[in-house]
Amino acid sequence: MVERIEDLNLPNAVIARLIKEAIPDGSNVSKEARAAIAKAASVFAIFVTSSSTALAHKQNHKTITAKDILQTLNELDFESFVPSLTQDLEVYRKMIKDKKESKANNKKDASTGDAAASSSSVAAVDENGDANE
Amino acid sequence: MVDASKLQQKRKPSADTFLPLSRVRTIMKSSMDTGLITNEVLFLMTKCTELFVQHLAREAYSESCSKQSGETLKYDHLSQLVNKSKNLEFLLQIVPEKIRVHEFQEMLRLNRTSNSDDDDESASESDSEAD
């Protein structure tokens, strides 16, 4: 739970950097504007979370999924975010998968041939499962 | 459509986040009645908040100070954007338009006499510009 209200603020330096990236070089941001954007971002996160939760509950799911968030963004008129986010998510999932695989490989190296055969067959099943999605 | 492709040219898809995941988790928890947030959802939310920050800055800037470079993005630019964008309606209370004290008093007076005409409002606006 949140103990202090400041715990809901996003770090100023990161916000400043993100803003700088978005506007042309050589332009400035007033302190007030930066504070307002930071506040808006926190509220946005809460807003999207609660909307996604409502959506998940409507489908009788207890926890929200990536799909719920993307669908919520569409409903809230932020559909321009969805293509980039989908790409990011792909990269993220691949990274997680690679991590898992390298872990499995490490195990394989350490163990006997039998274990290697079974773990590679598990990996094959995983790949099929992903393709079906 | 053009906007979206520009967005994608500017940033490559990546699994790195700039905002701290732990902070975003705290923020998400503050609104959720269920506690469980998967890493994937947390990642997506963080990315999405980053995109929102840049969207807000870019839109407010291009609306108000587009052509000349070296302009300063000010609070008023943001509140103007929030005021006119339908998908930013949820921020109306968070980023309200600033008004002057005498404009506020004028609003109160109009409310009391309960004839808040559009004409009256625009008249008070031009008054403040003359100041």
Confirm if A16 and B19 have CB atoms less than 8 A apart.
no
Burial of A5 (0-12, 13-18, 19+ CB in 10 A): exposed
**In this predicted model, which residue has the larger pLDDT, B122 or B99?**
B99
| Average pLDDT for chain B | 81
Question: What values do phi and psi take at B96, rounded to 5?
Answer: -75, 160
**Which whole-number Å values give the CA distances from A28 to A33, A42, B75, B76, B78, in the listed order?**
10, 22, 12, 14, 14
Give pLDDT, residue B64: 78
- pLDDT tens, residue order, chain A (133 aa): 667 777 889 999 999 999 999 999 889 999 999 999 999 999 999 999 999 999 999 999 989 999 999 999 999 999 999 999 999 999 999 999 999 999 999 988 887 555 545 545 444 444 444 444 3
User: Which residue in B27, B55, B56 is closest to A8 by CB distance?
Assistant: B27
pLDDT for the residue A129? 45
Burial-class residue A16 by CB neighbours within 10 Å (0-12, 13-18, 19+). Answer: middle
Q: How high is the pLDDT of residue B70?
A: 74
pLDDT in the model for residue B4: 47
A55 touches chain B (CB under 8 A): no
| Cβ neighbour number for residue B12 with a 10 Å cutoff | 10
Cβ distance of A27 and B53 shorter than 8 Å: no
Instruction: State how far the Cα of B66 lies from the Cα of B58, in Å rounded to an integer.
Output: 10
What's the gap in Å between the CA of A21 and the closest CA on chain B?
8
**CB spacing of A49 vs B31 below 8 angstroms:** yes
Tokens of A83: 């293509």
Report the residue of chain B nearest A66, measured CA to CA: B41
What local confidence, expressed as pLDDT, does residue A4 receive?
78
Q: State residue A108's pLDDT score.
A: 84
Q: Look up the pTM and report it.
A: 0.77
C-alpha separations of A69 from A3, A52, B48 in Å = 26, 5, 9
Residues of B in contact with A8 (CB under 8 A): 26-27, 30
pLDDT value at position A93? 96
Query: Can you tell me the distance from the alpha carbon of B110 to that of B113, in angstroms, rounded to the nearest whole number?
Result: 5
Q: A10 and B49 in contact by Cβ < 8 A? A: yes
Closest B-chain CA to A27: B70
Q: Which of B49, B32, B94 is nearest to A55 (CA)?
A: B32
- At residue B46, does pLDDT exceed 80? yes
pLDDT digits (tens, 9 = 90+) for B63-76: 876 666 678 999 99
Report residue B58 as tokens: 């870019």
- What is the per-residue pLDDT for A6? 79
Residues 76-105, chain A, touching B (beta carbon < 8 A): 76-78, 80-81, 83-85, 87-96
* B72, containing H or E segment: strand B72-73
The pLDDT > 90 percentage for chain B reads: 56
Burial of B83 per CB tally in 10 Å (0-12, 13-18, 19+) = middle
**CB within 8 Å: A33 and B74:** yes
- In angstroms, rounded to a whole number, what is the distance separating the alpha carbons of residues B48 and B106? 41
